Chains A and B, each alone.
Chain A
Amino acid sequence: MKMPMIQCHNLSHLYAGKAALSNVTFELGAGEPIGLVGPNGAGKTTLLSLLCGFLPVTAGALTLFGHKPGASALSGRVSALPQDARLDPAFTIGEQLSFYARLQGLSAKQATNEAIRVLEAVALKDLFKAKPDTLSHGMAKRVAIAQALIGSPELIFLDEPTAGLDPVNTRNIRSIITELSPATTFIISSHDLAELGRLCQQILLLDNGVMSTMQLNASGESSPTRFITVQMESCTAVDVIAKIKPLKGVVRVSTPQKNEFIVEYNPTIEANMDLKILTCIIDNNWQYRQFSQGKTLEEKLFFEEDSES
């Protein structure tokens, strides 16, 4: 049987006497990107720091590819974008990325080429000879992402990869992740749930140091009802609910936010509910911004029971 990429058993970690992680147990295999979400202080960065070997494991067991985090055997196989880590201002970006590549076993020439390649991937090739203290926050983040790509590792942890990036670069990072998956498995910690919803099939939810997992594509299959989320242009919620709720097969209509409606329906009664709702919108001369199958990731993770009408 193939060994899981990450094996975590009863992992706990204390920060100043407070439990940052409490008996976290999970196993992850290689494949599509995996999202790691949770409120501030939930323990996401602590978990990533333990996985990367930045924090020593004090309670529980944790292995990556069968090795303890931080082991030399993981050099070149596991990489990360650590939160708030900066390069040494004394050396140029090219010198440092080439040095990291050399530490991963590349020759001097290969290391220089690899540094150029990863900088090209984040559209910063021109900064090869620049010093890190000349970079903006967004550029520094992209350079840090570039260092994570050195040597095409099998597993990359990204801690808030798109925080502070402009939309163009966010899109660029997203396309890098999509291109490299599933040859490289990404574990992405982020508060940008829309971004994670686009990229990930599996979500790890950490709350108060306790973890639960969710398969995004499997949720609809096990449930007798399905969902459609509609974001409308300015309209009266009472009118929309009054028109949609009587449609045959609709179980419930909820309004978690202004102008956003989640329609829960029974597909065995009405298989083409999307067409029915669209027809209803057109018949009433309403305008919609977004129409999607299922719930948003935010709804699934945090407001499952709260938004019922």
Chain B
Amino acid sequence: MSPGFLQHSLLICQFELKRLFSSRKGWLYLITFALVWSFILLYPIRFAADMLGQEKNITSGISFLEFFGFGSLLNWQIPEMGVYWHFALIIFPLLSVMTSADQTCSDRERGTLRFLCLRVSRDSLFFGRFAGMMLVQTLLIFMSLFSTVALAVYRDVNLLSLALNSAMAIAVNLIIVLLPFTAMMAALSATLKSARQATVWAILVWSFLAGIISALSSYLPALDALKILIPGYQMSALSQLAQWQALQLAYIPLLQSVVLLSIGRWVMHRQNL
């Protein structure tokens, strides 16, 4: 019997994971990712964590970090995890835009999608590739979190259980944060010809949408609510929340993902292969 939607999506998702580990491009990406994160861990996170440790000992007066607007870092029980959270909120969405830009476009241009669409529905292909990209990013999040936990535990072995709890909270929140970015790239990839075009369009859509909504809301303030549709809209508020509290804003990226995936699916169904 022919597999159904879920089985097809799962197989496509697995194949995307295989792409990361079996292709030269995938390995190059992994090595670059590891190098960038090792640099971030060894310098900004380690030094910032040392500084935070000193800040926590200040009992009176205005903290240096609060003065510069980074007071929320003090809410984290393990400084390394707090600094990681702030870095991850900037780096992972950017990586997401770049790595998930080619979900279907180059395969469509090459004609490879035709071979696939003879065997699976467009829905399976679209959602399977999206799930595959999310799986790859989840893996990268866990890899970087694991090394951050190791760094914290290296400093104080008693922090292990606290660090693991923080790591889980960060992982869940980051995965939710990345959903709309990946969905936006899935939608753009379904209609554009190359990953480069998709990345450029993502930046344009991102900045112009924010600009247009801001301009319109100055005439009609009610339109300001539309900003909720811009991926990353909740980021500044999110950076002020620590650990599991950050889930309070999870409804925003989840809503954005549903809207963007619906648009992407609509585009995919109408696209010539």
Q: Which residues of B contact A (CB under 8 A)?
A: 1-5, 8, 11-12, 15, 18-19, 22-26, 107, 110-112, 114-122, 124, 269-270, 272-273
Q: Chain A contacts of B2 at CB under 8 A?
A: 72-73, 75-77, 104-105
Q: Does A269 contact B (CB under 8 A)?
A: no
**From A76, A82, A90, contact of B115 by CB (8 A):** A82
B119 touches A100 (CB 8 A): yes
A272 to B100, CA, bound (A): 72
The interface residues of chain B, by DSSP majority, are classed as: helix
Residues of B within 8 Å of A84, CB to CB, are 111
Please name all residues of chain A whose beta carbon is closer than 8 Å to the beta carbon of B120 when the two chains form the complex: 72, 75, 103
> Which A48-94 residues sit within 8 Å CB-CB of chain B?
49, 52-56, 70-73, 75-80, 82, 84-88, 90-91
Q: Does A117 sit at the interface, judged by CB under 8 A? A: no
Given pairs A54-B272, A88-B107, A103-B12, 16 additional interface contacts (CB within 8 A):
A49-B272, A53-B117, A70-B117, A72-B2, A72-B4, A72-B5, A75-B119, A86-B112, A91-B18, A95-B18, A99-B11, A100-B116, A102-B11, A103-B119, A104-B119, A105-B3
Instruction: Say yes or no: A85 contacts B114, CB within 8 Å.
Output: yes
A189 at the A/B interface (Cβ < 8 Å)? no
A190 interfacial by beta-carbon distance below 8 Å: no
A147 at interface, CB cutoff 8 A: yes
CB distance from B107 to the nearest CB of A (A): 7
Closest 5 CB pairs of A and B: A85-B111, A103-B119, A54-B273, A90-B23, A82-B114
In the complex the two chains form, is B107's CB within 8 Å of A71's CB?
Answer: no
Query: Which residues of B have CB within 8 Å of A96?
Result: 115
A→B interface (CB under 8 Å): 49, 52-56, 70-73, 75-80, 82, 84-88, 90-91, 95-96, 99-100, 102-105, 144, 147
CA A78 – CA B120 in complex, angstroms? 11
Docked-complex contact A72 and B112, CB < 8 angstroms: no
| Least Cβ–Cβ distance between A84 and chain B, in angstroms | 6
Q: How far is the CA of A79 from the CA of B120 in the complex (A)?
A: 11
| Complex Cα spacing A144 to B115, Å | 9
14 of the cross-chain contacts (CB-CB < 8 Å) are: A52-B117, A52-B118, A54-B272, A54-B273, A72-B5, A72-B121, A85-B110, A85-B111, A86-B112, A91-B19, A99-B11, A103-B8, A103-B116, A105-B3
**In the assembly, what is the distance between CA of A89 and CA of B57, in Å?**
57
